[in-house]
Amino acid sequence: MTASPHGPAAVHLAQLNVATFRYPLDDPRVAPFVEALDPVNAAADAAPGFVWRLKEDGENDATAMRPLGERVIVNMSVWETREALWDFTYRSGHLEVMRGRRDWFERHAEAHMVLWWVPAGHVPSVEEALERLADIRANGPSPDAFTFTSFHAPVEAAAARA
């Protein structure tokens, strides 16, 4: 996944994941997750290839936004390349947080993560992201909504939309 040799990449990779809490956010059993939020978000902001992440007005994260119900938090971000998102997600301090996911979150039977390409400079809305999640849940992976293991390169996605 390298950038175009002709200048800045014309597309960026957007990502949404959702998680359903087993306990309220102020429950001591979720405290390790809450304590990790600020340092891990700071690491994301400083990570190579990071472009943007969802924050609520006046907050440092989006944990108070609950578009899918009171127990479900959403996490959204945009990255320059697949490699940049992969390395942050699985090859940084973020991995240690993911290791605790069974302690804090319900197991999702449906897809809980979706990736899609956006034009560089476009800031995806929560509605747009939820549409992509609904798409992959209803239709399975496609060039418009995919995952790391069912990855689609940006050219295919553009061709499929044209």
Residues that bind other proteins (CB under 8 A): 87, 89-93, 95-96, 98-99, 101-102, 107, 149
First-to-last alpha carbon distance for the chain, in angstroms, is 22
Among 150, 47, 32, 14, residue whose Cα is nearest residue 99 = 32
Among 65, 60, 18, 55, residue whose Cα is nearest residue 36 = 60
Minimum distance of other proteins from residue 99's CB (angstroms): 5
Minimum distance of other proteins from residue 114's CB (angstroms): 17
Closer to other proteins by Cβ: residue 92 or 142 = 92
Minimum distance of other proteins from residue 149's CB (angstroms): 6
Closer to other proteins by Cβ: residue 63 or 89 = 89
Closer to other proteins by Cβ: residue 67 or 93 = 93
Query: CA–CA separation, 45 vs 54, rounded Å?
Result: 11
Among 151, 146, 13, 36, residue whose Cα is nearest residue 85 = 13
Minimum distance of other proteins from residue 73's CB (angstroms): 17
